[in-house]
Structure 1
Amino acid sequence: MASKPILYGADWCKKTIAIQDYFKSRQVDYDYINVDESEEAMQAIKDMNRGRVRFPMVVVGEQKPMKNPSPEELDDALGQHH
């Protein structure tokens, strides 16, 4: 079992909502961090993107952080093959 993914995003962001829907549709337990509500999360986003604010970002275990991953990329990262 892959480690629990962490989603960095914002409630108003359509791409963030799409990733939340992906996780829900596959019953994947995940942590959601709203970058609008956390300076630390905003800094983490910048650290992942060479100082730029880019999201949604998904982090799965020790894998490389993914910027706005596709469902296929998420499937691969989570080891879910349909």
Structure 2
Amino acid sequence: MAAIPLLYGADWCKKTIAIQSYFQEHGVAYDYLNVEQSDAALQAIKDMNRGKVRFPMVVVGELPPMKNPSPDELTAALAQNP
């Protein structure tokens, strides 16, 4: 069974919204972690970005975290995690 992608972002972030739309349009179940509402999510993105707050971040299975991935990058990552 494929791992459910994790999306770290913020409700006001246009790039986060675009990734949510991509997942919805492609029927991809995902978990959304709002970095403004979760200290753990905020710390996770800092850990992924050498202490800096950068989002959106997407984690698909065991693949390296992706910062603001393009639709093509998301498609490729999802294909590697069937």
TM class by shorter chain equals over 0.9
AA of the residue aligned to 2:43: Q
TM superposition score normalised by structure 2: 0.94
Query: Residues 42-81 of structure 1: matches in 2 within 5 Å?
Result: 42-79=42-79
Unaligned stretches of 5+ residues in structure 1: none
Query: How many residues are treated as equivalent by the alignment?
Result: 80
Q: Distance in 2 between matches of 1:63 and 1:51?
A: 20
1: CA distance between counterparts of 2:60 and 2:12?
23
Name the TM-score, length of structure 1 as normaliser: 0.94
Residue-by-residue CA offset, 1:19-38 (whole Å, 9 max, x unaligned) = 00000000000000000001
Cα distance, 1:18 vs structure 2: 0.1
Consecutive aligned runs of 4 or more in structure 1 exceeding 3 Å deviation: none
